[in-house]
């Protein structure tokens, strides 16, 4: 009887405090070695081998990278895939018209033949992974200059890929981990016929929109469903009407029992990019320089879009996805600043660095190897500062002036012609035509002209003159320094804003097209801006960045050698990771405690009829009034969202939240505002991921949309209430 207490004490003292149980995005193949014991102590009922195995089907066989930017999971034996509404949004939007507004009204295929194909969408399974560090780093020495090192590595990677065993329909990729101290190989299978099956209306799938984005308490049904199609042999195939639903190696079972306080949960997916091992100086720069600059440019971008989207329905549809992606990072960066300041991210790093330096200095061998790595990093980041700012400014600005997006497509054609002549041009042309056709569907010259005016004024007014295009400054002078006038002139002297003219230009003979591209005013201006950026920013920045990368690699290796008691996990790099933690609320600020569950009652509390963020469909309100929740409610309430201490990042959207038995209980879609700094500095007290309760999803599919046939495909279980 004494045991549990002693154990708990041990757990809190050693596991929870010393090794930060909730922090970490772990490699699936190393779970047995690094994590399984702790996971079981936290409540896991399955084994590491059940999660990742190369000998039998395991949970990983149900997880896909969705389009390369999100995660999805297979939830039926007929290849049904669950992901977020915001992950499927590009696909949903591409099928939406003013008449069939799937964004506003949702979409449900009532049979297989109604499912909608999406030409550029794909999902990728991980067949297996393997540590190939020794082969990739063979012949690499610490004395090698960076470029020599890289070409040796590239050569080794090619050899590793060529020698690896795989089927013809599989791919092999090799990725660096721990800043290039380790390398892993992945054998993958990519399916390219992925069809839209269903999506709720945006008023459910994106309820609360930007006001609630990155926030808790949350009440969003952020999900959509797709189906993978394969050829008759269940192999990957391009879209074909003859393809059939994919038969998966593994599907996730779905638990209707939900989770409670301190329940063990896992999130399995593809986090994109984190920076957990930066030095203090880099975090300081991000707080003082880079985040504020990027936020400022986006303040303006959003203001321009908003003005037009509010008054024009067509523009609202066209710019919905652009708006969402610009505002998403914009808001996250602000939360990151808040969180880093609150937990004194810089101070923490400085403490860690002092500790590191002391340990290194106390040991002659370590001192010889790593004695100067931190001062060297400090110097390199100091040098980077002004160029890093110029880079962020330039990239934020030019990527939002869409005339330049069009120009860059044409410049690619010109480059193909210059490099490989007529045949290079011909090879490139179909892709450029495709891209431009897709692009113009969501393009409004009126919005773009205003954007050009506003962003070019930032480009000129906020930057040192040496970072600016002289051609642009001349044009500005010729227009009395008036940016509105300048924008008008830039649009008058080009045809690129005109879909018809630009696309029919591409039907002309090659030589003629290339000549016209070379003389186009937008192309000339864009090239001049690129040239100045290349000469004045990139040329200096890139060697500094190379130095930083090499130093980060050394610093990473050094930390692993110096802090031997610590368990390290690699930064996210869009590869498959497992993270785990317990269901728990948190204290965002003094005297406030957040609960870990939200309910449909809370959706109704936020409801604002006619509002663009908080309106609701009548049918949902009716179901609420009748409390018609079927098997998805608990004690007269319908669970909607919940939070837990899983260490997730962008790319984990659409990842399954799994219970102790590996059943699907939720769908990851966000993090809480106070904790978005977890990409840089995870803090177990305030970092939480946000998930949609699977019962809310099934309720919407079944009761709201009347698509119960989809629920019938799934395997529903009750691990807690029925055995």
The least CB distance from residue 332 to ligand GLU, in Å, is: 7
Partner that binds at residue 651, options ligand GLU, ligand ARG, none, CB closer than 5 to 8 Å by kind = ligand GLU
**Which of the stretches 202-210, 434-442, 513-521, 714-722 binds ligand ARG when contact is defined by CB under 6 A?**
202-210
Catalytic-residue membership of 95:
no
The least CB distance from residue 655 to ligand GLU, in Å, is: 8
Closer residue to ligand GLU, CB minimum distance, 606 or 671 = 671
Half-sphere exposure (Cβ direction) of 575: Cα atoms closer than 13 Å: 27
Count of helices and strands (H, E) across the chain: 28, 22
Contact 532/468 with Cβ under 8 angstroms? yes
Closer residue to ligand GLU, CB minimum distance, 655 or 663 = 655
The least CB distance from residue 690 to ligand ARG, in Å, is: 8
Q: For the segment 317-356, give every residue that binds ligand ARG (CB under 6 A).
A: 324, 328
CA angle 553, 271, 438 (to 5 degrees): 115
Partner that binds at residue 649, options ligand GLU, ligand ARG, none, CB closer than 5 to 8 Å by kind = ligand GLU
Residue 466 is classified by DSSP as G
The least CB distance from residue 210 to ligand ARG, in Å, is: 6
- For position 689 contacting ligand ARG by CB under 6 A, the verdict is no
Closer residue to ligand GLU, CB minimum distance, 265 or 648 = 648
The least CB distance from residue 566 to ligand GLU, in Å, is: 24
Q: How far apart are CA 707 and CA 700, in angstroms?
A: 9
- For position 688 contacting ligand ARG by CB under 6 A, the verdict is no
Q: How far apart are CA 704 and CA 204, in angstroms?
A: 11
Closer residue to ligand ARG, CB minimum distance, 47 or 574 = 574
Partner that binds at residue 209, options ligand GLU, ligand ARG, none, CB closer than 5 to 8 Å by kind = ligand ARG
Closer residue to ligand GLU, CB minimum distance, 554 or 652 = 652
Torsion of the alpha carbons at 487, 491, 496 and 500, rounded to the nearest 10: 140
Q: How far apart are CA 44 and CA 156, in angstroms?
A: 39
Closest CA relative to residue 253, chosen from 74, 435, 12: 74
Closest CA relative to residue 46, chosen from 257, 266, 249, 260: 266
Q: Which of 58, 213, 274, 648 binds ligand ARG (CB under 6 A)?
A: 213
Contact 494/520 with Cβ under 8 angstroms? yes
The least CB distance from residue 666 to ligand ARG, in Å, is: 15
**How far apart, in Å, are the Cα atoms of 501 and each of 435, 495, 507?**
15, 7, 10
Q: How far apart are CA 440 and CA 445, in angstroms?
A: 10
Q: Please enumerate, as own/partner, the contacts of 587-591 that have beta carbons within 8 Å and a separation of 24 or more.
A: 587/685, 587/686, 588/216, 588/672, 588/673, 588/674, 588/686, 589/674
The least CB distance from residue 249 to ligand GLU, in Å, is: 25
Q: Are strands 592-594 and 597-599 parallel, antiparallel or unpaired?
A: unpaired
Q: How far is CA 56 from the centre of its chain?
A: 30
Those residues whose C-beta lies under 8 Å from the C-beta of residue 425, and which sit 6 or more positions away, are 413, 416, 417, 510, 514
Helix (H, G, I), strand (E, B) or coil at 668: strand
Partner that binds at residue 652, options ligand GLU, ligand ARG, none, CB closer than 5 to 8 Å by kind = ligand GLU
Among 61, 85, 86, 444, the one annotated catalytic: 86
Contact 256/717 with Cβ under 8 angstroms? yes
Closer residue to ligand GLU, CB minimum distance, 201 or 269 = 269
Helix (H, G, I), strand (E, B) or coil at 664: strand
At residue 692, φ and ψ (nearest 5 deg) are -85, 130
**Which of the stretches 180-188, 206-214, 276-284, 515-523 binds ligand ARG when contact is defined by CB under 6 A?**
206-214
Closer residue to ligand GLU, CB minimum distance, 180 or 684 = 684
Strands (E), 178-223: 182-191, 193-199
Partner that binds at residue 396, options ligand GLU, ligand ARG, none, CB closer than 5 to 8 Å by kind = none
Residue 38 tokens read as 């702790």
- For position 195 contacting ligand ARG by CB under 6 A, the verdict is no
Closer residue to ligand GLU, CB minimum distance, 330 or 669 = 669
Q: What share of the chain is helix, strand, coil (3-state, %, to 5)?
A: 55, 15, 30
**Which of the stretches 208-216, 391-399, 564-572, 614-622 binds ligand ARG when contact is defined by CB under 6 A?**
208-216
User: Count of CB atoms within 10 A of residue 178's CB?
Assistant: 20
User: Count of CB atoms within 10 A of residue 441's CB?
Assistant: 12
The least CB distance from residue 74 to ligand GLU, in Å, is: 19
Query: Which residues of the chain form contacts with ligand GLU (CB under 6 A)?
Result: 70, 648-653, 669-671
**Which of the stretches 161-169, 207-215, 281-289, 499-507 binds ligand ARG when contact is defined by CB under 6 A?**
207-215
Closer residue to ligand GLU, CB minimum distance, 243 or 648 = 648
Q: How far apart are CA 170 and CA 187, in angstroms?
A: 7
Closer residue to ligand ARG, CB minimum distance, 207 or 264 = 207
- For position 218 contacting ligand ARG by CB under 6 A, the verdict is no
- For position 88 contacting ligand ARG by CB under 6 A, the verdict is no
H or E element in which residue 650 lies: none
Closer residue to ligand GLU, CB minimum distance, 214 or 629 = 214
Residue 145 is classified by DSSP as -
Binding residues for ligand ARG, rule CB under 6 A, total 12
- For tokens 């569907």, the residue is 441
Contact 83/63 with Cβ under 8 angstroms? no
The least CB distance from residue 332 to ligand ARG, in Å, is: 6
- For position 78 contacting ligand ARG by CB under 6 A, the verdict is no
Q: Which of 210, 353, 571, 702 binds ligand ARG (CB under 6 A)?
A: 210
x/- contact string, 632-651, with ligand ARG (CB under 6 A)? ------------------x-
The least CB distance from residue 102 to ligand GLU, in Å, is: 20
x/- contact string, 267-306, with ligand ARG (CB under 6 A)? ----------------------------------------
H or E element in which residue 262 lies: none
- For position 219 contacting ligand ARG by CB under 6 A, the verdict is no
Q: Which of 206, 502, 522, 668 binds ligand ARG (CB under 6 A)?
A: 206
Phi-psi region of 408 (alpha: psi -120 to 50; beta: other; left: phi over 0): alpha
Residue 329 tokens read as 């990072």
Closer residue to ligand GLU, CB minimum distance, 327 or 452 = 327
Catalytic-residue membership of 653:
yes
Partner that binds at residue 58, options ligand GLU, ligand ARG, none, CB closer than 5 to 8 Å by kind = none
The CB-nearest residue to ligand GLU is 653
Q: Which of 35, 42, 86, 267 binds ligand ARG (CB under 6 A)?
A: 86
Among 61, 210, 222, 584, the one annotated catalytic: 222
**How far apart, in Å, are the Cα atoms of 471 and each of 438, 466, 529, 531?**
30, 12, 8, 11
- For tokens 């609150």, the residue is 342
**Which of the stretches 97-105, 210-218, 256-264, 398-406 binds ligand ARG when contact is defined by CB under 6 A?**
210-218
- For position 670 contacting ligand ARG by CB under 6 A, the verdict is yes
Among 53, 65, 653, 678, the one annotated catalytic: 653
The least CB distance from residue 691 to ligand ARG, in Å, is: 12
Catalytic-residue membership of 647:
no
At residue 223, φ and ψ (nearest 5 deg) are -145, 160
Which residues are identified as catalytic?
Answer: 86, 222, 653
List contacts with ligand ARG (CB under 6 A): 86, 206, 209-210, 213-214, 324, 328, 650, 653, 669-670
């Amino acid at each position: 009887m004494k045991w549990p207490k002693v154990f708990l004490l041990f757990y809190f003292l050693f596991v929870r405090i010393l090794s930060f149980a909730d922090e970490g995005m772990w490699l699936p193949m190393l779970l047995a070695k690094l994590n399984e014991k702790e996971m079981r102590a936290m409540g896991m009922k399955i084994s590491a081998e059940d999660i990742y195995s190369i000998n039998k089907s395991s949970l990983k066989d149900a997880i896909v990278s969705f389009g390369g930017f999100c995660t999805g999971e297979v939830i039926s034996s007929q290849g049904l895939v669950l992901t977020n509404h915001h992950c499927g949004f590009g696909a949903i939007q591409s099928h939406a018209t003013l008449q069939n507004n799937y964004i506003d009204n949702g979409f449900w295929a009532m049979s297989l033949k109604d499912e909608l194909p999406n030409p550029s969408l794909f999902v990728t399974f991980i067949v297996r992974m393997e540590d190939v560090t020794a082969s990739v780093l063979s012949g690499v020495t610490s004395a090698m200059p960076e470029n020599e090192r890289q070409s040796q590595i590239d050569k080794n990677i090619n050899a590793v890929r060529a020698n690896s065993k795989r089927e013809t329909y599989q791919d092999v990729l090799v990725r660096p981990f721990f800043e290039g101290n380790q390398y892993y190989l992945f054998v993958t299978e990519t399916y390219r016929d992925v069809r839209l099956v269903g999506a709720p209306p945006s008023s459910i799938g994106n309820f609360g929109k930007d006001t609630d984005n990155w926030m808790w308490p949350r009440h969003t049904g952020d999900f959509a469903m797709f189906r993978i199609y394969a050829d008759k042999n269940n192999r990957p195939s391009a879209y074909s009407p003859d393809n059939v639903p994919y038969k998966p190696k593994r599907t996730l079972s779905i638990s209707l029992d939900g989770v409670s306080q301190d329940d063990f949960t896992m999130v399995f997916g593809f986090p994109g990019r984190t920076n957990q091992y930066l030095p203090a100086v880099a975090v300081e720069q991000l707080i003082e320089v880079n985040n504020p600059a990027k936020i400022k440019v986006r303040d303006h971008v959003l203001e321009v879009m908003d003005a037009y989207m509010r008054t024009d329905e067509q523009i609202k549809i066209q710019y919905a996805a652009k708006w969402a992606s610009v505002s998403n990072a914009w808001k996250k960066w602000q939360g990151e600043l808040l969180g880093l300041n609150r937990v004194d991210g810089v101070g923490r790093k400085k403490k860690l660095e002092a500790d590191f330096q002391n340990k290194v200095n106390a040991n002659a061998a370590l001192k010889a190897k790593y004695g100067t790595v931190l001062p060297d990093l400090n110097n390199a980041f100091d040098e980077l500062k002004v160029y890093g700012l110029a880079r962020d400014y330039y990239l934020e600005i030019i990527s939002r002036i869409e005339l330049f997006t069009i120009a860059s497509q044409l410049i690619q054609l010109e480059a193909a012609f210059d490099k490989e002549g007529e045949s290079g041009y011909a090879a490139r042309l179909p892709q450029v035509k495709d891209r431009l056709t897709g692009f113009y569907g969501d393009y409004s010259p009126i919005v773009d002209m205003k954007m050009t005016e506003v962003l070019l004024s930032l480009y000129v007014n906020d930057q040192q003159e040496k970072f600016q295009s002289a051609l642009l400054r001349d044009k500005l002078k010729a227009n009395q320094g008036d940016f509105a006038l300048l924008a008008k002139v830039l649009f008058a002297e080009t045809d690129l804003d005109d879909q018809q003219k630009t696309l029919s230009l591409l039907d002309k003979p090659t030589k003629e097209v290339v000549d016209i591209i070379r003389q186009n005013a937008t192309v000339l201006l864009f090239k001049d801006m690129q040239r100045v950026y290349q000469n004045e920013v990139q040329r200096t920045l890139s060697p500094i960045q190379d130095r930083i990368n090499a130093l980060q690699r050394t610093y990473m290796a050094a930390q692993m050698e110096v802090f031997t008691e610590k368990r390290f996990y690699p930064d996210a790099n869009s590869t498959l990771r497992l993270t785990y933690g317990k269901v728990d609320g948190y204290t965002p600020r003094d005297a406030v405690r957040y609960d870990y569950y939200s309910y449909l009652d809370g959706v109704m509390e936020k409801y604002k009829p006619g509002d663009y963020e908080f309106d609701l469909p009548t049918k949902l309100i009716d179901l609420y009034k009748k409390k018609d929740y079927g098997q998805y409610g608990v004690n007269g309430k319908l669970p909607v969202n919940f939070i837990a201490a899983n260490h997730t990042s962008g790319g984990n959207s659409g990842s399954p939240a799994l219970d102790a038995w590996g059943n699907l209980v939720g769908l990851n879609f966000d993090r809480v505002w106070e904790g978005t700094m977890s990409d840089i500095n995870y803090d177990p007290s305030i970092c939480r991921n946000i998930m949609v309760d699977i019962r809310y999803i099934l309720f919407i599919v079944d009761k709201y949309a009347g698509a119960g046939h989809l629920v019938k495909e799934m395997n529903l279980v009750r691990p807690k209430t029925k055995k």
